[in-house]
């Protein structure tokens, strides 16, 4: 059968592929990036109320104004991004859709786009789908996957129209220091590049502080969402903000001709995510995730692997040396533990595996690490 040539540029998402493989009786699943916490009750109640009140119709394409107002306040108060208003915010069906819209609105055939290596799998696929040319920016396990001089120099010389920034990071858990983010912004400014700053793990930081590139650079598209912070991956709700209103307008054009708008009652539910009650639930979840991270690090440190303690998100990305990470992950799965091999995240991920501790108890992590130790 013949299909449009563009579809051949899209690869299957490795995260979903390995997650599907893990769905078998008796498998300890450390694959997909989600937590095993429930969405805070206050958010669920708000969504139920919206359904009961008949809020079941289309909303404005860029999202209900009340929610966009809340997002403007949040970005001003928590991230020091002051030059926004609700026309500079767009709500969509997840941060992934938002990133697709931004890339489709900005990138022409063969435009260079800088992506840290390794990175979350969807950046590469979305950029290839848009026709953009990927410039990989190398990161190393030795430096805890924090951008260094080599990374800056490849970016500086790449003439990239756009760079992806993601701190706290998927797949490495790295949290970039403010100084590093400033250096990236300095280069972007000199080169007149756009930045997509994917801040979806912002509230899952165990040491250090979050700093948004959006607070110092107008050509930064700040991407965030509800999936991770409030355990709402199935609600499909994310957002972007940018002080360059024209870009948000272009993304909204794509939205109006594709998904139309995000789900109405999900948006009303999300209004309650800005309450103290919901924020407290995130804090509780973060405390539990930190315990899991500490346990996993203790076990990894006892093994012969290279893994600098990740300060955020809910992933560890140990480097296991000269192994074939795909074969190793398959072998681990045969032994009852599902992880994601490192190479689908980029060539610097070769020899690594990504382990998500978002949805596994300490008991499960213990069993998983015992099995990993036995087969390594």
Binding residues (CB under 6 A) for ligand GLU: these are 13, 15-16, 32-33, 96, 120-122, 170
How many residues are given for the chain? 376
Binding site partner of 225, from ligand GLU, ligand PMP, none, Cβ cut-off 5-8 A by kind: ligand PMP
Residues 171-200 close enough to bind ligand PMP by CB under 6 A = 198, 200
Beta bridge partners of residue 115, listed in sequence order: 136
- Contact residues for 357 (Cβ-Cβ < 8 A; gap 6+): 30, 289, 292, 293, 296, 314, 315, 316, 365
Instruction: Select the span of 94-102, 282-290, 298-306, 340-348 touching ligand PMP (CB under 6 A).
Output: 94-102
Q: How many Cα atoms sit within 13 Å of 164 on the Cβ side?
A: 31
CB nearer to ligand PMP: give 32 or 369. 32
Phi and psi, residue 42, nearest 5° = -60, -30
- Applying CB under 6 A, the span of 89-97, 209-217, 304-312, 318-326 interacting with ligand PMP comes to 89-97
Q: What does the angle CA 346 – CA 337 – CA 301 come to, to the nearest 5 degrees?
A: 70
Q: Cβ-closest residue to ligand GLU?
A: 33
Give the strands of the sheet with 89-92, arranged side by side.
89-92, 238-241, 220-225, 194-198, 162-166, 112-117, 133-138
* Shortest spacing between CB 224 and ligand PMP, in angstroms: 9
Q: Considering CB under 6 A, how many residues would be counted as binding ligand PMP?
A: 13
Is 34 or 299 the residue whose CB approaches ligand PMP more closely?
34
- Candidates 92-100, 131-139, 242-250, 331-339 — which segment interacts with ligand PMP by CB under 6 A? 92-100
Q: Using CA atoms, how far apart are residues 374 and 328, in angstroms rounded to an integer? A: 12
Residue closer to ligand GLU by CB (options 122, 231) is: 122
- Residue 96 found at the interface with ligand PMP (CB under 6 A): yes
Tell me: does residue 241 bind ligand PMP (CB under 6 A): no
Query: What are the tokens at 351?
Result: 């020899």
With respect to ligand GLU, which residue has the nearer C-beta, 59 or 97?
97
Nearer to ligand GLU, 69 or 364 (CB): 364
Between 27 and 42, whose beta carbon lies closer to ligand GLU?
27
Tell the smallest beta-carbon distance from residue 236 to ligand GLU (Å): 11
Interface residue with ligand PMP, options 19, 125, 170, 212 (CB under 6 A) = 170
Beta bridge partners of 28: 337
From 343, 294, 310, select the one nearest 172 (Cα to Cα): 310
Among 238, 318, 342, 349, binds ligand PMP (CB under 6 A): 238
Whichever of 223 and 296 has its CB closer to ligand PMP, that residue is 223
With contact defined as beta carbons under 8 Å apart, do 183 and 48 qualify? no
Q: What span, in angstroms and rounded, lies between the C-alpha atoms of 307 and 172?
A: 9
């Amino acid at each position: 059968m013949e299909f449009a040539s563009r579809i051949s540029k899209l690869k299957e998402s490795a995260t979903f592929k390995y997650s599907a493989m893990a769905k078998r009786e008796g498998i300890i699943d450390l694959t997909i990036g989600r937590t095993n916490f429930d969405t805070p009750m206050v958010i669920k109640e708000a969504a139920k109320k919206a359904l009961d009140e008949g809020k079941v119709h289309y909303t404005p394409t860029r999202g209900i104004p009340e929610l966009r107002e809340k997002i403007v306040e949040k970005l001003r108060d928590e991230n020091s991004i002051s030059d926004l208003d609700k026309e500079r915010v767009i709500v969509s069906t997840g941060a992934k859709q938002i990133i697709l819209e931004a890339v489709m609105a900005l990138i022409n055939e063969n435009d260079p786009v800088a992506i840290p290596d390794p990175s979350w799998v969807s950046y590469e696929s979305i950029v290839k789908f848009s026709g953009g040319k990927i410039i990989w920016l190398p990161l190393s396990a030795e430096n805890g996957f924090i951008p260094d001089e080599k990374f800056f120099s490849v970016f500086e010389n790449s003439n990239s129209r756009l760079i992806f920034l993601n701190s706290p990071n998927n797949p490495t858990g790295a949290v970039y220091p403010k100084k590093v983010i400033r250096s990236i912004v300095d280069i972007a400014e000199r080169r007149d590049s756009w930045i997509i700053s994917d801040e979806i793990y912002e509230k899952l930081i165990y040491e250090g502080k979050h700093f948004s590139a959006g607070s110092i650079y107008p050509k930064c598209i700040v991407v965030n969402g509800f999936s991770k912070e409030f355990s709402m991956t199935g609600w499909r709700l994310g957002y972007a903000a940018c002080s360059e209103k024209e870009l948000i307008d272009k993304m909204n054009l794509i939205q109006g001709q594709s998904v139309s708008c995000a789900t109405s009652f999900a948006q009303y539910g999300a209004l309650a995510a800005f309450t103290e009650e919901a924020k407290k639930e995130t804090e509780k979840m973060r405390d539990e995730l930190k315990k899991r991270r500490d346990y996993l690090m203790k076990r990894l440190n006892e093994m012969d692997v290279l893994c600098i303690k990740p300060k955020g998100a809910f992933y560890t990305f140990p480097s296991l040396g000269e192994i074939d990470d795909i074969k190793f992950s398959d072998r681990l799965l045969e032994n009852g533990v599902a992880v994601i091999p490192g190479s689908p995240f980029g060539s610097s991920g070769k020899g690594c595996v990504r382990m998500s501790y978002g949805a596994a108890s300490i008991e499960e992590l213990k069993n998983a690490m015992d099995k990993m130790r036995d087969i390594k």
